[in-house]
Amino acid sequence: MTKGVQYMLLSTFFFALMNVCVKFLSHLPPMEVVLFRSVISLALSYGMLRRANVKPWGTRKGILITRGLAGGFSLLLYYTTLQNIPLAGAVTIQYLAPIFTAVLGVYVAKEQVKPWQWVFFLLSFAGVLVIEGVDTRISWYYLLIGVGSAFLSGVAYNSVRKLSETEHPLVIVFYFPLVSLPLSLVFCLFDWVPPQPEDWIWLLLIGLLTQLGQYFMTRSYQVEKLARVAHLNYIGILYALGLGFVFFNETFHLYSYLGIALVLLGVVLNLQYSRTLRQREEAQATA
């Protein structure tokens, strides 16, 4: 495994645990959860910047703010689906984000996606459609909200890729809560539910797990091309199935598992193909 792959696998694991915490807070408005997550993440990010002696403001503020806005609205939509449909269903829809990331990467990051990689992406996307098609617990309303979240995530990830040319990874992580905090405050002025004492445990864990997931995701996109690591996000579907069953007693139709198999097949094939391409590039560079 390359460093980029290792970072992405760690990121996926921490985000899977964060999803469970969010679902335990289904009685709170989603933007209220975003608010507390942003407060914790902002404090941790600033502390890490101070410790590393890195200036927090960056140089490409327009792209940094765009990354924060796209990430903040994506998070609002994603938490909405997490709180209202089965865990694995919400995660599956969100994992369309790597496809949007790779497609947008052709135009934003000027990265080439090979024809076979498009085939593998479509295979994974077909698996997502199978899963959603047989699960009657997911309405079109929440499906569209989830797809919107995935698209905005693709915008945010491509912004990270552009920022990696000039910005320190801690600065990129710092701007996410820096922008989403005032954004969530505005929403909470109109929709606020006081957290219960036990809610603070889940809110704290959301902030900590998010910080870990964000950092390793940012590092992954900085050291590896988008098309080579974006699809690894799909591994989170396995986490969601297991955690959803253990914590929320969620089960799925047999065809849903067939869809998951298609998703994972696309992931494995794309990973193998990307490795082959990398080996060819290295051979040509040394020839």
Q: Identify the pLDDT of residue 96.
A: 76
* Full pLDDT tens readout for the chain, 287 residues: 788 888 888 888 898 999 999 999 999 999 999 999 899 889 988 998 999 998 888 888 899 999 999 999 999 999 999 999 989 888 878 877 777 877 787 777 677 778 888 888 888 888 878 877 777 788 888 988 998 999 999 899 888 888 877 888 889 888 989 999 999 999 999 999 999 999 999 999 998 898 788 778 778 877 777 667 766 777 777 888 888 988 999 888 888 888 878 877 877 787 778 778 777 877 887 76
Helix (H, G, I), strand (E, B) or coil at 33: helix
Task: Assess contact for 32 and 259: CB atoms under 8 A.
Answer: no
Q: How far apart are CA 90 and CA 82, in angstroms?
A: 5
What is residue 94's predicted lDDT score, i.e. its pLDDT? 82
Q: Which of 203, 246, 268 is nearest to 88 (CA)?
A: 246
Choose among 261, 260, 26, 77: nearest CA to 180.
77
Q: Calculate the CA dihedral of residues 156, 206, 234, 80 and round it to 10 degrees.
A: -70
Which residue is associated with the tokens 């870990």? 212
- At residue 241, the pLDDT reads 85
CA distances (Å), origin 188, targets 182, 184, 201: 10, 6, 20
Q: What is the dihedral of CA 226, 125, 213, 25, to 10 degrees?
A: 150
Spell out the residues 6+ positions from residue 67 whose beta carbon is closer than 8 angstroms to its own: 156, 159, 160, 163, 172, 175, 176, 179
